[in-house]
Amino acid sequence: GRCRLLCKPSALAQHLVRSLGRSAALRGGRWLWPCWPRLQMLRQLLQPPEPEPAVARELLQLPDTGLVALDWLVGRRGARSGSGGGGPSSVLLLIPNAAGKVTGGLLQLGLRALERGFVPVIFNRRGHNGCPLTTPRLQPFGDPGDLREAVTYLRCRHPTASLLAVSEGSGSGLLLAYLGESGSSSRLAAAACISPIFRGRDWFEAGMPWLYEWPLLLHLKRGLSRYVGSLAEAVDVDRLLGSRSLRELEEALFCRTKSRPTSWEAYWERNEPLRDADEAAVPVLCLCSADDPVRGPPARSLPLELFRSSPYFFLLLTPRGGHCGFPRRGAGPCWGHEAVLEYFRAMAEFLRAEERRKGLPRPR
């Protein structure tokens, strides 16, 4: 469907071109309203999945006594549980957007993965999606410390399974920062980003369509209002709840703090998603559309040189799809989800072939 794969030539790139080219997911990826990506974006943000999946929640305590929540998808009928013994299935870590909004699209991806034999689990940051806030500290945009603890726990819980990760929208800033900081020690076999935000500071400063920004802003404020008492010792709560944009809220939470205030420039020096991209050592598929109204025009929002120079970054670019949408014509599932799952299947196939070719023993 006129998709293009931009990447550095390699054996893996050739394998992905063949696999994705044969996939039915990338054929017929047309959508009903090619001129209304903002309307499609609002539908994707607000529409719940049908039916809504059941989840089993685990709370993971961090070294500073903070908590993150892991929501294991157990299917429509509760037939599967992530709390069982670690089997050979691949564990798929799902990372919501930076506001912690678990969209219907992300849940549908988890259900599709569950049907394919994956073990899907959603990573919820401190204070997000009902996760208790036990410290007066939230997770900055590109600080992968909490995600690293969660990945370490998942590796211990499922020691024989392949560990994969997929992020949605602005949540990709966290995943990309983690891959860059961790390098070859990321413990992930592969990763994918759906409609990622590559340049965090530029994204906040450019502003977003109000159809997207206001629902997320209200979602964040509603969640933070539960913890006004504990946050009052760290931030100006009046400024926080009075924020009229995601940038103002980000500054109130992480720059204008009472104990360690910092500048907007210094904050992004530590939190830009691609600050250590050259160190990434895990294959990453980035699924993007040219008409994404949230990320912005491709010419200024896509780091094309990164995909041309790094053997680990792959850009699957489509002319239509909106932001995290990629719907099919009719009532079929999101073709972007099918493309991501096909990518993970192709990656596993390629790695098995490389092990056989090199005569490497499979890890016990």
Residue 210, pLDDT score: 85
Residue 322, pLDDT score: 86
Q: Is the peptide bond before 53 cis (omega within 30 degrees of 0)?
A: no
Residue 41, pLDDT score: 63
Residue 354, pLDDT score: 84
Q: Which domains does the chain have, with CATH numbers?
A: 4-24+36-76+88-199+276-355 (3.40.50.1820), 205-271 (no CATH)
Distance CA 279, CA 294 (A): 27
pLDDT under 70 in the chain at which residues?
1, 27-51, 76-88, 329-333, 359-364
Residue 306, pLDDT score: 97
Specify whether 128 is catalytic. no
Specify whether 15 is catalytic. no
The DSSP code sequence of 282-344 is S-EEEEEETT-TTT--HHHH--HHHHHH-TTEEEEEESS-TTTT-PPSSSPPPHHHHHHHHHH
Residue 79, pLDDT score: 44
The tokens 């013994």 sit on which residue?
85
pLDDT tens-digit readout, 290-343: 989 899 999 999 999 999 999 999 999 998 888 888 877 655 568 899 999 999
Residue 84, pLDDT score: 38
Nearest in space to 342 (alpha carbons), one of 6, 12, 4, 26: 26
Residue 57, pLDDT score: 96
Token pair recorded at residue 9 = 């030539």
Q: What pTM was estimated for this model as a whole?
A: 0.91
Which listed residue (128, 146, 276, 323) is catalytic?
A: 323
Mean pLDDT of the chain: 88
Which listed residue (128, 276, 292, 337) is catalytic?
A: 292
Token pair recorded at residue 20 = 């994705």
Residue 164, pLDDT score: 98
Distance CA 153, CA 147 (A): 10
Distance CA 348, CA 212 (A): 35
